[in-house]
Amino acid sequence: MNNKNSIIKTAQNTIIEESNAVRHLSSLIDDDFVNTVELIYNSKGRVVITGIGKSAIIATKIVATLNSTGTPAVFMHAADAIHGDLGLILEDDVVICISKSGNTPEIKVLVPLIKNAKNNMIALTGNKDSFLGQQADYILNAYVEKEVCPNNLAPTTSTTAQLVMGDALAVCLLELRGFSSKDFAKYHPGGALGKKLYLRVSDLSDVNQKPKVTPETSLKDVIIEISEKMLGVTAVVENNKITGIITDGDLRRMLSKTDDFLALKASNIMGTNPKRIHADALAVDAMELMEENGISQLLVEDNNGNYAGVVHVHDLIKEGIL
């Protein structure tokens, strides 16, 4: 029991101490941060981010975030840079060097080479007075009082601070660029996230069959239509316009209420004013409409208000939207 409590307390303290360190970062945002954002925003080149050890791992994440939000960026390992990869830096590129201490041997070798190439260099460091800090054009101050590691050795709080500062940089650039959800979709076409941003209702309904009957269709033919099209539903259509809907549930309720159903027509059992959605709407909007109304299908209309098909909850599940 004591071991359990100790684990919980350690975890809680870790989270609290790191969150306090992150909160302190807001007081370190200064003119250098603003100048860095404006420099990158106005640059004709890319952002090259470099570091070593844990800082290199953080650098790769910041690169990924920048790339996905409209700011071209590449990663360059500090150790590899001084063994040939320095050629990765182009004339108009802005270089960000990440180092907690700012005094590592690799950084001391790399920084003069970057300066000689006349590239603007940003220091993301916890030590403004370090070699890196003194050589940089601007400093992103990621100072933390101590690591949450009990020995104050393992990069923990410091790397969290670096990561958050990178996110702050990316979000500021995103807003300056007016980067929208449509832009985001261009960079995230794969997976459920991308599909939520670009997949249209028509992309799903067009591959489905289009069950439809008229108000005068016999109940027998209604059942056949629903069974053959295998969507658990049929639209009731007149002159290509939706006038109603019949679902499996409607059929079951009808059968439980009457034994004399041979003379019934679609108009006798259809639901009127069914939920529908435009073919050009996002698939995620169809999901929200289904969830709001507790239904499994939506009838689809085209630009002219004509019946265009059915989108089923299974389509959304299949595509990873739901």
Q: What is the pLDDT of residues 296-311, one digit of tens each?
A: 999 999 999 999 999 9
Higher pLDDT, 189 or 310: 310
CATH (one of 3.40.50.10490, 3.90.420.10, 3.20.20.80, 3.50.50.60) for 2-178: 3.40.50.10490
Lowest mean pLDDT among 42-46, 83-87, 100-104, 132-136: 83-87
Q: Is the pLDDT at 195 greater than 80, yes or no?
A: no
Domain limits, CATH 3.10.580.10, in the chain:
201-318
Q: pLDDT band at residue 161, thresholds of 50, 70 and 90? A: very high
- The C-alpha atoms of residue 190 and residue 188 are separated, in whole angstroms, by 6
Q: pLDDT band at residue 254, thresholds of 50, 70 and 90? A: confident
Q: pLDDT band at residue 68, thresholds of 50, 70 and 90? A: confident
Structure tokens at 315: 């389509």
- Whole-number pLDDT of residue 189: 61
Q: What percent of the chain has pLDDT over 70?
A: 94
- The C-alpha atoms of residue 150 and residue 240 are separated, in whole angstroms, by 72
**248-257 vs 219-229: helix crossing angle, rounded to 10:** 150
Q: What is the mean pLDDT of the chain?
A: 91
Condensed to tens digits (0 to 9), the pLDDT of residues 204-248 reads: 999 999 999 999 999 889 999 999 999 999 999 999 999 999 998
Say yes or no: domain 201-318 is CATH 2.30.30.90.
Answer: no
- Whole-number pLDDT of residue 103: 94
Starting at the earlier edge strand, list the strands of the sheet with 276-278.
276-278, 297-301, 307-312
- Mean pLDDT over 90-119 rounds to 93
- Whole-number pLDDT of residue 64: 95
- The C-alpha atoms of residue 166 and residue 70 are separated, in whole angstroms, by 14
- Mean pLDDT over 184-196 rounds to 65
Domain limits, CATH 3.40.50.10490, in the chain:
2-178
Q: What percent of the chain has pLDDT over 90?
A: 70
Structure tokens at 149: 């590691």
83 is annotated as contributing to ligand binding: no
Condensed to tens digits (0 to 9), the pLDDT of residues 6-28 reads: 999 999 999 999 999 999 999 99
